[in-house]
Amino acid sequence: MDRRSTLELLFSGRKTSQKKEMTRKTAGGGGTLAPYTGPWNREAAAHLLRRTTFGPTQSEIDQSVQNGLSWTLTELFKNDAPPTAPINYYFTTDPYVAVGKTWIDQPYDAVVNLKGYRYNSLYAWTVGIMLGGGMRLREKMTLFWHNHFVTSRIDVNDPKFQYIYISLLRNNALGNFRELTKKITIDPSMIRYLNGNQSTAAKPNENYAREVMELFTIGKGPQVGPGDYTNYTEDDVLALARVFTGWRDRGYNTLTPGVPVESYYTDSRHDKTAKQLSHRFNNAVITNKGDQEYAEAINVIFQQDECARFICRKLYRWFVYYEIDASIEANVIEPMAQTLIQHDYDISWPLFELLGSQHFHEDCTRGAMIKHPVDYVMTMLRQGGWFPGTDTNTKYRWWRVVFSNFELLQMPYFAPPNVAGWKAWYQEPSWYQGWLNSVTLPIRADIAKLMCGRGLKLGNLYAPLPLLDWVASLDDPYDPIALIDELALQLFPRGVSDNKKTYLLDVLLPGLPEYEWTVEYGDYLANPNDEELEKAVLNKLSNLIATMMQMPEYQLS
């Protein structure tokens, strides 16, 4: 059963076994990292941009086609300046931060609850950055790292900590994996999330020591003996727990002005004895290096090539597909890992290679993924040209409304369910299919109908997708067949079949000949101030696009 058939069953309300998987047939490049040499057309460009950005617009797809694959990859990997910090956009009773100024370096207050509005600001700001991400890979990679180096607002519970954490991931999204691991090790949110602030020489805490190997760098591997896994042992966990002692966080929920959010090292809390690692790390010994000992431990872990394979598998599952068979392991993962090692763990090199490969652009990879909730919502808004206003207060308020939909769809940004991240990228056998269930499917449909109708609600205001502007940006909106084809190019990873095109034509023009759309749309453009003509055209577009966004094909990427 292929992915589209699975979705057809889900949408029709019938049960399907999650154990039935799509048979992936090798095409074109034979499943290798050889550079893609096939046609560079709208379909190919849309596939690449769909996987690497939050919803390519028609102009971005056309720009990519015009300039070619090499140019597109270069654009995707450009590292823009960091975004400006989130601001106080409405809270007039903050004694430290005026409306319009940032709160990231200001204390809290014993009387006034400042945490709530600052979290709202952080959430809204995050949506705004994704909406403005353009033809850049950075925001998809920031979310990748958030799912990899997990912390959660539920456990950390300080928006200033979470701002510093997500900024660390964003600023290093396409940088060095080993160095990012070092930085995240002493990130204040990570220290607090995995209890590093409680770890002392007298009582080392094992949480980070275990997760940095099992989930963050090298992977556990099958157990081969008592306390001995393929890639590390329980004794290694104990040794590394001693290495990471001595680090604490400062500024947590502080009420004192001038106290920064940061991590710091206390020598008296650090275990200064030698740490003996196991045969899995060639019996390395880590001696006392004070506040640099944690970095030495990370260096030792990264001497094992399995670190490269481990992260390349996670990149593959994020950008291509969850199933990694023996052929993919040998022909894609291993070459990616060797590229990563050759370039000293600079993550951009194997990722650039993957996204420009024959394998990535094989026909079987298109539409093989189910959009996760953040991708689903942000893609809808970006492709539809949703615009929340011009003044800062209005934009932040609308962005906060958008953010609430992530939680409704079971993927709250800043709150993965556990240290392993969201289940879609590690839990067999459902993998991505877990995003679609009896709760989330109706919500997805409701969001589509809402955005194509009256729109999101904020007080007495509504903000729908500007469907008329969206359609006007297409090449030939007068022709109903061309209209459906061009919308399908953006919305569906594999276009639309003739049967479904006929069905969609009937949605647009129920029982009417095709020329009726051409006449009606032309009349509207000739008289744009005629409310009746506008309403008639808009209703037809609303029905068409809402229907397309509820189809199984739209759930795919």
- The answer to whether the CB of 341 falls within 8 A of the CB of 319 is no
Average pLDDT, rounded, for the chain? 94
**Domain containing residue 484:** 467-555
Q: Is residue 68 part of a domain?
A: no
- % pLDDT > 90, the chain: 93
For residues 524 and 534, the answer to whether their CB atoms sit within 8 Å is yes
Distance CA(89)–CA(87), nearest Å, equals 6
**Tokens standing for 34?**
């050889």
H or E stretch covering 457: strand 456-458
**pLDDT value at position 206?**
98
Backbone angles phi, psi at 205, to 5 degrees: -95, 130
Predicted pLDDT of residue 472:
95
**pLDDT top residue among 12 and 545:** 545
- How high is the pLDDT of residue 544? 98
Residue 183 has pLDDT above 90, yes or no: yes
Q: How far apart are the first and last CA of the chain?
A: 17
In the structure encoding, which two tokens stand for residue 538, read together? 């808009």
Q: Which two tokens stand for residue 332?
A: 């894609």
Instruction: Find all residues with CB under 8 Å of 152, minimum gap 6, and list them.
Output: 193, 414, 415, 416
Q: Which residues contact 219 (CB under 8 A, 6 or more apart)?
A: 213, 231, 306, 310
- Kindly state the average pLDDT of the residues 516-543: 97
325: number of Cβ within 10 Å: 9
Number of domains the chain contains: 1
Say if 509 falls within a structural domain.
yes
User: Which letter does DSSP use for residue 260 in this model?
Assistant: P
Q: What angle do CA 148, 34, 338 make, to 5 degrees?
A: 50
Q: Is the pLDDT confidence value at 97 over 90? A: yes
**Does residue 457 fall inside a structural domain?**
no
As a whole-number percent, the residues of the chain with pLDDT over 70 amount to 95
pLDDT tens by residue, 21-57: 333 433 334 579 999 999 999 999 999 999 999 999 9
Which segments of 214-292 does DSSP mark as H helices, in order? Answer: 234-243
SS3 347: coil
Confidence of residue 390 (pLDDT cuts 50, 70, 90): confident
305 has a pLDDT exceeding 50: yes
What confidence tier does 389 reach under pLDDT thresholds 50, 70, 90? confident
Decide: helix, strand or coil at residue 316: helix
Residue 8 predicted with pLDDT over 60: no
Across the range 259-269, mean pLDDT stands at 97
Judge whether 548 lies within some domain: yes
* 139, pLDDT greater than 50: yes
pLDDT in tens, 407-464: 999 999 999 999 999 999 999 999 999 999 999 999 999 999 999 999 999 999 999 9
What is the structure's pLDDT at 30? Answer: 58
Question: What is the C-alpha separation between 307 and 145, in angstroms, rounded?
Answer: 15
Three-state secondary-structure class, residue 382 = helix
Minimal CA–CA distance to 148: which of 120, 113, 173? Answer: 173
Q: 32 with 357: CB under 8 angstroms?
A: yes
Say what the pLDDT of residue 31 is: 79
Mean pLDDT of 140-162: 98
Q: Is residue 514 part of a domain?
A: yes
The two tokens of residue 238 are: 């104990």
Q: Say what the pTM is.
A: 0.94
b (16+ CB within 10 A) / e for 297-313: bbebbbebebbbbbbbb
On whether residue 440 sits in a domain, the answer given is no
DSSP 557: -
Range 66-87 average pLDDT: 97
Tokens standing for 321? 């597909």
Each residue's pLDDT tens digit, 481-504: 999 999 999 999 998 899 999 999
Q: pLDDT of 199-242, one tens digit each?
A: 999 999 999 999 999 999 999 999 999 999 999 999 999 999 99
